[in-house]
Amino acid sequence: MSSEIRRRKLDLKNGRVDLSHGAGGRAMAHLIGEIFHAAFDNPMLRAGNDQAAFDVDAGRMVMTTDGYVVSPLFFPGGDIGSLAVHGTINDVAMAGARPLYLSAGFIVEEGFALADLKRIADSMAAASRAAGVPIVTGDTKVVERGKADGVFITTTGIGVAPRDLVLSSDQARPGDKVLLSGFIGDHGVAVMSQRQNLAFETTVQSDSAALHELVAAMVAAAPQGLRVMRDPTRGGVAATLNELAQQSGVGFRLDEDAVPVRPQVAAACELLGLDPLYVANEGKLIAIVAPEAAGTVLAAMRGHPLGRDAALIGEVILDDHHFVQMITSFGGGRIVDWLAGEQLPRIC
């Protein structure tokens, strides 16, 4: 970057994004340099190339990509920036992999406040540093006013998994146990509490968090006992287990009393007419585990701060219809069906 470009400073307090910030010229260089490079700074990004090159350890490479359009952009416990980092790290980690690097793509609407864009970039940087997974390349586009909603982010992550560890959604077997890493519904309720048309007071904060270290503890405890892991984001626990039931050709039987739900989340869901099983999470995982390994894996989860409230919530059963069933608190039974329609749009 030339010294001339460095001398021109953005007005990070009162300035707003305009179309020139995505046009490939000097204004774009200012935006990238003063907001994104300043926040994400690391040797690979500092090289200024259109890509990042790196060596990796031997193993199975894992790659994922995800888009983030959450509304509102800032919510109790997080924002779109930290959410994008955590969500992509978790998708890599669900393969039992160690996340290595991230890329980030930004689509920014003309007129978006530079102060908010910097706040989001700083949050992403803090989340990636805390996780030890740097953002090493990226892209920025600016679209006309009214063509987006502030900012959308796409992140891609890569990682490496042990060569002999294969976790897959078709591996659940009758008799396997279903483990959940903690309280459900926190993220969805936290975001909904800030929606202009639904705003309500709550102490619940998003559970957005990077789960790769929790996963590493589980893999270390019983690598051969793990069948599949999944983070129950959109559609919550209900959607995740219905997907796994179809993909593995099995059914699930859950115990309602064993599913951790905070009283505040239960109250908010009752107010909004929602079922916590369908509400999104961003810092929880579901693990399907061989019965002989369930105790060991559960103990490993509870030994990690992000899994201290982990619980065994059910089991895999033989079911040609691939239903998810639940034994209710009253001793009855009900079907936990697929989510119908869009319960909570733009939740992540």
State the pLDDT at residue 56. Answer: 87
Q: Mean pLDDT lowest for which of 2-16, 38-52, 104-118, 240-254?
A: 2-16
Name 69's Cβ contacts closer than 8 Å, sequence gap at least 6: 149, 152, 346, 348
State the pLDDT at residue 2. Answer: 46
- Provide φ and ψ at 117, rounded to 5°: -65, -40
Measure the CA–CA gap between 120 and 107, rounded to whole angstroms. 13
pLDDT tens-digit profile of 111-125?
999 999 999 999 999
- Residue 7 to residues 10, 48, 263, 305, 319, Cα–Cα distance (Å): 10, 18, 54, 45, 67
Angle in degrees, CA 345, 229, 332, rounded to 5: 75
Measure the CA–CA gap between 106 and 117, rounded to whole angstroms. 10
9, pLDDT greater than 90? no
State the pLDDT at residue 346. Answer: 87
State the pLDDT at residue 163. Answer: 92
Measure the CA–CA gap between 139 and 120, rounded to whole angstroms. 15
pLDDT tens-digit profile of 169-210?
999 999 999 999 999 999 999 999 988 667 678 889 999 999
Q: What is the mean pLDDT of residues 212-224?
A: 97
Q: Which two three-digit tokens encode residue 267?
A: 């109250």
When pLDDT is cut at 50, 70 and 90, the band that residue 87 belongs to is very high
State the pLDDT at residue 167. Answer: 97
> What mean pLDDT value characterizes the chain?
94
- Exposure pattern of 37-63 as b/e (b: 16+ CB <10 Å)? bebbebebbeeeeeebeeeeeeeeebe
Q: What is the pTM of this model?
A: 0.94
Q: What is the mean pLDDT of residues 208-218?
A: 98
pLDDT tens-digit profile of 39-72?
999 999 999 899 999 998 888 999 999 999 999 9
Q: Which two three-digit tokens encode residue 90?
A: 């978790």
